[in-house]
Amino acid sequence: MATSSAPGKVFLLGEHAVVYGEPALLAAIERRARVTVEERSDGGLRVDSEDLTLDGFTIEYGEDAATDPNVDVPQNLLEAATGYVDEAVAQARDAADAPNAGFEVTIESEIPLGAGIGSSAAVVAAAIDAATRELGVELDREEIADRAYRVEHAVQDGQASRADTFTSTMGGVVRVEGDGGHSIPAPELPLVIGYDGGAGDTGKLVADVRSLRERYGFAADTVETIGDVVDEGERALDDGDVETLGELMNADHGLLSALGVSSRSLDAMVWAARDAGAMGAKLTGAGGGGCIVALDESDESQTALEYTPGCEEAFRAELAEEGVRRK
């Protein structure tokens, strides 16, 4: 039996534009997905998740199992969850040259699925690490990150970037651009998260931005401008200037809104945090619902979010210095 965990993440700057090779800045946060894997001899796969969705699910499938499992969760969440686990298992089998290996997989997650804070990336990175170790193979972080990206690329129909999986694997604050990424030094970041209880459809939102970018020059220019904002943000981090980073986060939210990926609940939380004195606040992730991230050293933004209609949860997030962790 092997157990690994990996952290969630927030986009400080750059979501959606990163899909087109623009840079992005992300921070790993100490909300983790923990995956325990035990090999089984029959080649089957059983996935038990108490926490991956609000209701949780247990499902068994393989050559002799039902192909259409009957579980009480929304179909899109079921397909996403099982798709990510299937592909992670396939990567582990490939890495260990064990194509017929079966597994019992148990997932415990503090990260809501589809909320924009990296639930799938954390589950995938932790699952690949745990499953390969259960098969007697030790992967370095670079290979875990690469294989985790391949999983998201497959499940998201080729529209994923390396951002989430790289951050979840490496931890800390990272810059991701194109096929590469690296860790960057950063000052202490007073991160506050607001969550509306919903989940955006990442694939649809990415496709909608792609369509807008292909139809209108302003949308293509907006994507490039987001990349420019990221470069300014990295300079602010290098200078330890959290206030300027906050201003840039505000600008980034406006650009993302122009691309059509915000929502009424996300905007309400963003403005609640800003009105409470946050240095900056923006949506994080694909958008359409889910989470916002704010910078505030005081408790005012968290308190304001707790009283904002449509905000289901607000919490302070610590930076996760360590990415994939064993046990």
The confidence score (pLDDT) of residue 217 equals: 96
The stretch 190-214 carries a mean pLDDT of 90
Q: pLDDT by residue (tens digit) across 287-298?
A: 999 999 999 999
The confidence score (pLDDT) of residue 121 equals: 92
Looking at the structure, tell me whether residues 110 and 236 fall in a common domain. no
At residue 170, what are phi and psi to the nearest 5 degrees? -90, -35
Residue 75 binned pLDDT confidence (cut-offs 50, 70, 90): low
Pair type for strands 45-49 and 102-109? parallel
Mean pLDDT lowest for which of 50-64, 146-160, 165-179, 254-268?
A: 50-64
DSSP letter at 99? T
Residue 67 binned pLDDT confidence (cut-offs 50, 70, 90): very low
Residue 322 lies in a domain: no
Q: What distance in Å separates the CA atoms of residue 292 and residue 11, rounded to the nearest whole number? A: 9
> The domain spanning residue 264 has which CATH number?
3.30.70.890
Residue 326 lies in a domain: no
The stretch 294-307 carries a mean pLDDT of 97
State which amino acid sits at residue 305: L
Residue 325 lies in a domain: no
Mean pLDDT lowest for which of 55-69, 96-110, 289-303, 306-320?
A: 55-69
The stretch 145-173 carries a mean pLDDT of 88
Contact predicate 222/255, CB 8 Å = yes
Mean pLDDT lowest for which of 6-10, 77-81, 198-202, 251-255?
A: 77-81
The stretch 139-156 carries a mean pLDDT of 91
Contact predicate 17/24, CB 8 Å = yes
Residues 6+ apart with CB under 8 A from 131: 2, 37, 88, 89, 92, 93, 103, 105
Looking at the structure, tell me whether residues 102 and 198 fall in a common domain. no
Type and span of the H or E element at 30: strand 24-40
Looking at the structure, tell me whether residues 32 and 167 fall in a common domain. yes
The confidence score (pLDDT) of residue 65 equals: 39
For the chain, the farthest-separated pair of C-alpha atoms sits apart, in whole angstroms, at 58
Last residue of a domain, one of 130, 158, 184: 184
Residue 62 binned pLDDT confidence (cut-offs 50, 70, 90): very low
Looking at the structure, tell me whether residues 179 and 195 fall in a common domain. no
Contact predicate 94/50, CB 8 Å = no
The pTM (predicted TM-score) of the whole model is 0.87
Looking at the structure, tell me whether residues 134 and 27 fall in a common domain. yes
Last residue of a domain, one of 148, 165, 184: 184
Q: What distance in Å separates the CA atoms of residue 270 and residue 106, rounded to the nearest whole number? A: 35
Q: pLDDT by residue (tens digit) across 21-42?
A: 999 999 999 999 999 999 998 8
Looking at the structure, tell me whether residues 258 and 276 fall in a common domain. yes
User: What percent of the chain has a predicted confidence (pLDDT) above 70?
Assistant: 89
Residue 168 lies in a domain: yes
Looking at the structure, tell me whether residues 244 and 274 fall in a common domain. yes
Pair type for strands 2-13 and 173-177? unpaired
Range of the domain at 111: 2-184
- In the predicted model, what is the mean pLDDT of the chain? 89
State which amino acid sits at residue 211: S
The stretch 306-317 carries a mean pLDDT of 94
User: What percent of the chain has a predicted confidence (pLDDT) above 90?
Assistant: 72
Q: pLDDT by residue (tens digit) across 218-241?
A: 999 999 999 999 999 999 999 999
Contact predicate 25/234, CB 8 Å = yes
State which amino acid sits at residue 252: D
Question: Per-residue DSSP letters for 243-302?
Answer: HHHHHHHHHHHHHHHHTT---HHHHHHHHHHHHTT-SEEEE-SS-SSSEEEEE-SSSHHH
Count the domains in the chain. Answer: 2
The confidence score (pLDDT) of residue 84 equals: 85
Looking at the structure, tell me whether residues 7 and 156 fall in a common domain. yes
Looking at the structure, tell me whether residues 48 and 83 fall in a common domain. yes
As to burial, measured by CB atoms within 10 angstroms (0-12 exposed, 13-18 middle, 19+ buried), residue 183 is middle
Residue 274 pLDDT exceeds 50: yes
The confidence score (pLDDT) of residue 261 equals: 96
The confidence score (pLDDT) of residue 113 equals: 73
> The domain spanning residue 159 has which CATH number?
3.30.230.10
Residue 174 lies in a domain: yes
Q: What distance in Å separates the CA atoms of residue 29 and residue 191, rounded to the nearest whole number? A: 9
The confidence score (pLDDT) of residue 64 equals: 40
The confidence score (pLDDT) of residue 152 equals: 86
Question: What residues act catalytically?
Answer: 164
Mean pLDDT lowest for which of 6-15, 17-26, 31-40, 63-72?
A: 63-72
The confidence score (pLDDT) of residue 50 equals: 62
Residue 191 pLDDT exceeds 60: yes
Angle 230-249-255 (CA atoms, 0-180°, nearest 5)?
80
Looking at the structure, tell me whether residues 23 and 44 fall in a common domain. yes
